[in-house]
């Protein structure tokens, strides 16, 4: 509750508004090609918010709604829209969560699969969602989070 309006604006602009505008920018090219696939990167925080990261959590939940909405709006153009909701993936962005070994072990204990994710854990899912193998999938969210709870 102590987050400033400027922080709210920045996070929502970067995570939600930019995603919507980037999609809007690429749709005409996808339509020229007869269709395509958009994969929006949300987060497990959309389902299980991280304490102290309210605006981030809300922005990632908003992306799930954006994906559902765009899937409906773009289906007539043969453009599929899905979301990826990664859990804690070992990247520079998330290192504050796992850099301390004791904290990393605590995180692992809370997961069904007792390890943190890697970018490679997400790459295959994104590749699949962009492929013809996923041609009948739109408006869905795939969670890659080691078994963390993933329902609203």
Taking the C-alpha atoms of residue 121 and residue 55, their distance in angstroms, rounded to an integer, is 26
Pairing of strands 141-144, 36-41: unpaired
First to last CA, the chain: 21
47 counts as catalytic: no
Element (H, E) at 101: helix 101-109
Taking the C-alpha atoms of residue 120 and residue 96, their distance in angstroms, rounded to an integer, is 20
State the catalytic residue, choosing from 56, 58, 87, 107: 56
The residues assigned a catalytic role are 56
């Amino acid at each position: 509750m102590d987050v400033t309006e400027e922080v709210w604006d920045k996070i929502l602009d970067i995570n939600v508004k930019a995603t919507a505008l980037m999609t809007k920018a690429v749709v005409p090219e996808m339509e020229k090609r007869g269709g395509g696939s958009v994969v929006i990167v949300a987060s497990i925080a959309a389902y299980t918010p991280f304490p102290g990261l309210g605006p981030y959590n809300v922005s990632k939940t908003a992306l799930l709604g954006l994906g559902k909405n765009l899937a409906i709006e773009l289906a007539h153009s043969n453009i599929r829209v899905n979301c990826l909701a990664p859990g804690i993936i070992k990247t520079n962005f998330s290192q504050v969560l796992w850099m301390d070994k004791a904290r990393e072990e605590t995180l692992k204990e809370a997961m069904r699969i007792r390890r943190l994710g890697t970018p490679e854990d997400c790459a295959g899912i994104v590749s699949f969602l962009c492929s013809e193998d996923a041609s009948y999938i739109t408006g869905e969210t795939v969670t890659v989070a080691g078994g963390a709870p993933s329902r609203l």
